[in-house]
Structure 1
């Protein structure tokens, strides 16, 4: 996926996209926001580590969205984060599926569970693993960034009928770049080398939320996002939206991103020149096999 946009691929009609957004908004109003900052300890569970949490909001919102999607698209493959944590077999069907929906019902679950407003709902449509539609919804602000392959990325505020086309940043030299690096997700033997590299950038951090990291990149507020331990519900929509906004997105080894890929490093940047400079800086990561994501949410580190 590059900053040279292909011809539009419209797998969804305007009415279908609106229906999907309305479904996501209903799930947020019904299952997510009523629980925000109101969760009891019994409503929060640990899946693999203390950082890998799941709440009633995650489970209930995903089930509601999945049911609604299947009513609209009965033949589609549904890949929800919480369902996959119970049965990862569905991941093997992505590459061969003509239409797959990925759902991250509450991306940034740790933030959500701790009362931080940095969380969102991520949904994508894949065609044989290739992202062709992406949506990242902010339940707190009730706005969405969305787009389809070949079209622009837009931010929309449904209640105010506001729509604005987005553009990624102009990038620059390393010491001018602001971006997101998941230090804790890198192989143990690469973390020190990455930590030593970080001061060369203007600023790096991690929001522990792919939804808002993807939104920030598509809006041009940051210059790059590096991802590891790839999971389709975390990364497919953001990769597409960065491309729609004019950015350059590819695996760190230069290959094209496909959501069926669970091993490797995904690098998204404001443009191709900046992507290349970052690729050169991060090339030491390719000396060690990338972490493998098998469907458990610790791999994403964001929930």
Structure 2
């Protein structure tokens, strides 16, 4: 299944509607009763995450009744659902609120993400920023765009990653929290070679920053598909280069091999060599 621009516009409209009706009204109003943890204290979920995933699931099923839908919260309840991303059939993968820690704390760095995966390859990806009220999106082989506005007034503005920069001037997000102890020690000891290493605690915001030319790279260890499928495709279609640290292509079923997304192939190699060489 290869969605066209009208399909992407419909999905973007769904993201915008759910953000406006469910996510933003609760922003800044999440209390202890609205929040629980899943695998640990760094893995929270709010009532807004759950409500948004239900609404997005229902909306996608109405738009595309023949395509399966899974999401971060549904997989938390039934981990076997994750196997769908490696299968041959198309499946939508939802992150109802990426950056839940930020969202729950009232920090304006979060987003809603949807990826379309088929045969363990991302076919389309969308990242919606509820505060800016715009959506970055891409389909494989067709470029990446910022969709601004609604319906007939919408504009598709091309996205482009940053120009290459020396390591000492590079801005790269490095998420080391899920690295094994030896890898973490090695990577942390080498971060001084990189100009700036912000961690936004939000893959949606990080990939948006990369695709719009404001960040040169991101390094992640845990690579769950709802966190990375949409963003990696958008970055690639905006001119970036995405691979696992071993140089192999990253695919949505690769949940624990790590990935490096960079503005171009040369930047990728320089960063990989600096951190892992």
Query: What is the TM-score with the length of structure 2 in the denominator?
Result: 0.95
Superposed counterparts of 1:119-138, under 5 Å: 119-138=110-129
The alignment status of 1:272 with 2:260, answered yes or no, reads: no
Q: CA deviation at 1:186?
A: 1.3
Which shifted more, 175-184 or 56-65?
175-184
Structure 2 partner of 1:246? 239
User: How far has the Cα of 1:39 moved from its partner?
Assistant: 1.7
2:52 equivalent to 1:61: yes
Tell me the distance in 1 between the aligned counterparts of 2:88 and 2:133.
31
Residue in 2 that maps onto 1:260: 253
Q: Is the 8 A contact 2:98 2:204 kept in 1?
A: yes
Deviation by residue 1:4-40 (Cα, 9 ceiling, x = unmatched): xxxxxx7113222111111111111111011000122
Counterparts in 2 of 1:131-146, with a 5 A limit?
131-146=122-137
Equivalent residue of 2:201, what SS?
coil
1:164 aligns with 2:177: no
- Structure 1: segments with no counterpart, 5+ residues: 1-9, 285-303
CA drift of 1:282 comes to 2.8
1:202-221: CA deviation from partner (whole Å, max 9, x where unpaired)? 10021110000000011110
Q: How does 1:71-82 map to 2 (within 5 A)?
A: 71-82=62-73
Q: Secondary structure at the match of 1:105?
A: strand
Give the CA deviation at 1:283.
2.6
Give the match's secondary structure for 2:177: helix
Structure 2 residue 156 is the aligned partner of structure 1 residue 200: no
- Whether 2:181 is the aligned partner of 1:188: answer yes
In 2: Cα distance, 1:42 partner to 1:221 partner: 37
**Contact 1:79–1:233, Cα closer than 8 Å, also in 2:** no
User: Structure 1 residues 68 and 161 mapped into 2: Cα distance closer, same or farther (>3 Å)?
Assistant: closer
Counterpart Cα distance in 1 of 2:17 and 2:226: 19
Rounded Cα–Cα distance in structure 1 between residues aligned with 2:249 and 2:37: 34
Query: Which residue in 2 is equivalent to 1:229?
Result: 222
Q: How far apart are 1:51 and its partner, in Å?
A: 2.0
What is the aligned-residue RMSD (CA, Å)? 1.4
Equivalent-residue separation in structure 2 for 1:11 and 1:143 (angstroms) = 22
Find the aligned partners of 1:145 and 1:106 in 2 and give their Cα distance.
Answer: 15
CA distance in 1, matches of 2:194, 2:13: 39
Residue 8 of structure 2 is matched in structure 1 by: 17
Cα distance in 2, alignment partners of residues 219 and 235 from structure 1: 16
> SS of 1:205's equivalent?
coil
Corresponding position: 1:87 with 2:78: yes
Q: Retained in 2: the 8 A contact 1:224–1:270?
A: yes
Aligned to 2:32: 41
> Which structure carries more relative contact order (alpha carbon 8 Å, separation 6+)?
1
Q: Displacement, 1:168?
A: 0.7
Q: Which runs of 5+ in 2 are unaligned?
A: none
Q: Assess if the C-alpha contact under 8 Å between 1:77 and 1:97 holds in 2.
A: no
